[in-house]
């Protein structure tokens, strides 16, 4: 064999990513890892994303992406659903009871998707898949995409490695039986573009038609515009803050149409779904959002102070206390509390800057690339 042949890379390593569109965070984390694999190891991997609910699980589970939004909008239902099985014993019981129902689909998933490594970013597939892979040599890696209040269903001791985003999540993993040697505290994988600062922030604002002489409040509610976003926007308007308000309505066209009818008393810009969220964050001065782990992680990287106005009970409770502990933001569940928090930061730029610096200190912009290197190590590819 020639020396040139010795330098040629081997066949691409096949990585199977298991996710589901029950909320946007699972998909975005997966896409961030796939992007990082290509950035770190160009042409060395063949990734495949599988929505296990939609593609392999039986009814009614295959409709989980459709069922998720209405349930998440009812706090009492979500709290009950989250807490009902959040213990080691109850989590084990529910997976044992449900396995016969999903066994055929789980085994077909493994059979139809040959891989060198399986990566899960969803808590509801782990116990089923590792059981279906009982005699398989394929390594199984779990990447936890909740920040702090991580559910027991994330953790199965049969996984080869478990990656968690925070020390708080690490403590939960140990509590639920994961050996410390199988744990890595790395961070939440976020798209690489959030780490890129704007070359000219003022020019970007000018191009978007934003005032450059006022602080910018960015108000978001997730890809579907979820949460009491309308009431918050109207409260900010009535307060007549000396700021520009930028509202991302996501795919919620009705919300955007309603806000377009408001008699705005401050400069305001309304947008639907956007792929430019990194630029929106980089050009803003403070963020008002629900307490989703992905948005919080993106805000940290962008150095944005946070006002958290909504959360999923149970699942996102820890996110709120985490942000407050870091002094990177505040919890403001009522519109008037949102206004009070924003007014302090608008009127006191030094206080806003302190929160921004705390947010930036909490950032883990390299998490996706670290996980990519961990994946490479598991399949024998050297950095």
pTM: predicted TM-score of the whole model, two decimal places: 0.93
DSSP secondary structure letter of residue 121? -
CA dist., res. 126 & res. 173, Å (int): 14
Q: What is the pLDDT of residue 98?
A: 95
Q: What is the pLDDT of residue 8?
A: 60
Which residues 6+ apart lie within 8 Å of 141 measured at CB? 117, 118, 119, 120, 159, 160, 161, 162, 163, 374, 375, 378
CA dist., res. 160 & res. 278, Å (int): 33
Q: What is the pLDDT of residue 1?
A: 35
Contact assessment for residue 38 and residue 5, using Cβ atoms and an 8 Å cutoff = no
* DSSP per residue, 3-27: HHHHHS--SPEEEEEEE--SSSHHH
* Mean residue pLDDT across the chain: 93
What are 345's two structure tokens? Answer: 């930061």
pLDDT tens by residue, 5-15: 445 667 999 99
Q: What is the CA angle 122-123-127, rounded to 5?
A: 115
pLDDT tens by residue, 160-206: 999 999 999 999 999 999 999 999 999 999 999 999 889 899 999 99
CA dist., res. 231 & res. 203, Å (int): 31
Region(s) of the chain under CATH 3.40.50.2000: 3-190+365-378, 193-361
Three-class SS of residue 155?
coil
Q: Where residue 225 falls among pLDDT bands split at 50, 70, 90? A: very low
Q: What is the pLDDT of residue 227?
A: 57
**What is 193-361's CATH number, 3.40.50.2000, 3.90.1140.10, 3.30.160.270, 3.10.520.10?**
3.40.50.2000
pLDDT tens by residue, 61-76: 999 989 888 887 788 8
Which residues 6+ apart lie within 8 Å of 303 measured at CB? 356, 357, 359, 360, 363
Fold exhibited by the domain 3-190+365-378: Rossmann fold (3.40.50)
| pLDDT reading at 224 higher than 60 | no
Q: What is the pLDDT of residue 83?
A: 87
| pLDDT reading at 234 higher than 90 | yes
Q: What is the pLDDT of residue 51?
A: 97
């Amino acid at each position: 064999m020639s020396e040139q042949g010795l330098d040629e890379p081997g066949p691409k390593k096949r990585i199977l990513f298991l996710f589901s569109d029950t909320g946007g965070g699972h998909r975005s984390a997966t896409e961030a890892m796939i992007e990082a694999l290509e950035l770190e190891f160009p042409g060395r991997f063949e990734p495949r994303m599988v929505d296990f609910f939609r593609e392999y699980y039986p009814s009614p589970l295959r409709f989980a992406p459709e069922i998720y939004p209405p349930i998440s909008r009812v706090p009492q239902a979500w709290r009950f659903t989250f807490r009902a099985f959040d213990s080691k014993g109850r989590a084990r019981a529910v997976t044992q009871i449900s396995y016969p129902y999903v066994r055929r689909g789980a085994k077909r998933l493994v059979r139809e998707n040959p891989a060198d490594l399986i990566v899960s970013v969803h808590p509801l597939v782990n116990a089923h898949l590792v059981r279906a892979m009982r005699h398989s040599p394929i390594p199984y890696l779990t990447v936890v995409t909740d920040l702090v209040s991580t559910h027991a269903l994330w953790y199965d001791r049969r996984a080869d490695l478990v990656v968690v985003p925070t020390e708080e999540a690490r403590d939960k993993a140990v509590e639920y039986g994961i050996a410390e040697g199988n744990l890595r505290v790395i961070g939440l994988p976020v798209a690489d573009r959030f780490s890129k600062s704007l070359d000219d922030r003022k020019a970007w604002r000018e191009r978007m038609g934003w005032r450059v002489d006022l602080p910018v409040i960015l108000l978001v509610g997730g890809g579907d515009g979820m949460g009491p976003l309308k009431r918050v926007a109207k409260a900010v308007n009535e307060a007549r803050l000396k700021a520009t308000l930028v509202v991302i309505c996501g795919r919620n066209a009705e919300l955007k149409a309603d806000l377009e009818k408001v008699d705005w008393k401050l400069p305001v810009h309304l947008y639907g779904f956007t792929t430019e969220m990194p630029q929106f964050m980089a050009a803003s001065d403070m963020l008002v959002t629900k307490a989703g782990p992905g948005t919080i992680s993106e805000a940290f990287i962008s150095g944005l102070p946070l006002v958290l106005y909504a959360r999923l009970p149970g699942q996102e409770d820890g996110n709120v206390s985490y942000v407050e502990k870091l002094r990177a933001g505040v919890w403001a569940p009522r519109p008037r509390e949102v206004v009070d928090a924003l007014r302090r930061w608008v009127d006191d730029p030094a206080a806003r800057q302190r929160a921004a610096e705390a947010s930036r200190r909490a950032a883990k912009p390299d998490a996706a690339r670290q996980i990519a290197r961990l994946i490479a190590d598991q399949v024998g590819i050297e950095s």
